[in-house]
Amino acid sequence: MSKNISDKHKCLDCDKIIDYRNQHCQKCWGESIRKELPNCIDCGKKVSKYNVKRCKKCYHQWNRGENSSMTGKIVTQIIRDKISKSSKGINKGRKNGMFGKPTPHGKRIKYKSTLFRSSYELIYAKYLDKQGIKWEYEPKTFDLGNCTYTPDFYLSESDTYIEVKGWWRDDAKKKFNSFKKHYRTKLITEKDLRCLNLL
């Protein structure tokens, strides 16, 4: 014979009369669950099984404090260390498959059968044409020891290499400064293009 929902029996822990479908009353069930939860490492309160180390209050205090920025830095450093260990000696310097080749930069812009990497380089090439200055685009790649460098323009009349930069990518500044020590070089920035009324 099936039991009715109204049929009652006792809680296994406190002998309180409860519904037959349950083994524990709500209070005892909650306490048994709480016993299994870990304690917050800061204040000792029971924490959710999803927040393993800290209760919400302590986590927010910890996250807003000096630990947050330090933790970010530490995690970033750990990731960098893992990457450097896994790729130690691989793809660096002369072992890199791109060594001696110009860096690819997405879409190129065509002007006078030359494909330019950036709009700034195109603007500067048009400016040189208006001034009647002969130019070559990315004429040569130079070996700088553990890396290579390809200047944007070469002006044969003044024997000058020109680098056009909107912003610096990765180690580009180091490469440029290293190249500048050995060759006559001029840097053209966004500010220079604005001064020439090209932007």
Reported as a pLDDT band with limits 50, 70 and 90, residue 69 is very low
Check residues 197 and 11 and name the one with the higher pLDDT. Answer: 197
Q: Is the whole-model pTM more than 0.75?
A: no
Across 103-118, average pLDDT: 79
**pLDDT band at 32; cut points 50, 70, 90:** low
**Quick check: 9 and 18 in contact, CB under 8 A?**
yes
pLDDT at 50 over 90: no
Residues whose CB is less than 8 angstroms from the CB of residue 122 and which lie 6 or more positions away in sequence, other chains included = 109, 111, 116
Percent residues over pLDDT 90 in the chain: 24
DSSP per residue, 137-167: ES---EE-SSSEE--SEEETTTTEEEEEESS
Q: How confident is the model at residue 102 (pLDDT cuts 50, 70, 90)?
A: low
What was the pLDDT predicted at 18? 76
**Does residue 20 or residue 132 have the better pLDDT?**
132
pLDDT band, residue 1 (cuts 50/70/90):
very low
Among the ranges given (3-12, 105-114, 130-139, 179-188), the one the predictor scored with the smallest mean pLDDT: 3-12
Domains of the chain: 109-195 (3.40.960.10)
Question: Is the pLDDT at 73 greater than 60, yes or no?
Answer: no
Phi then psi for residue 42, to 5 deg, are -100, -50
Residue 70 has pLDDT above 50, yes or no: no
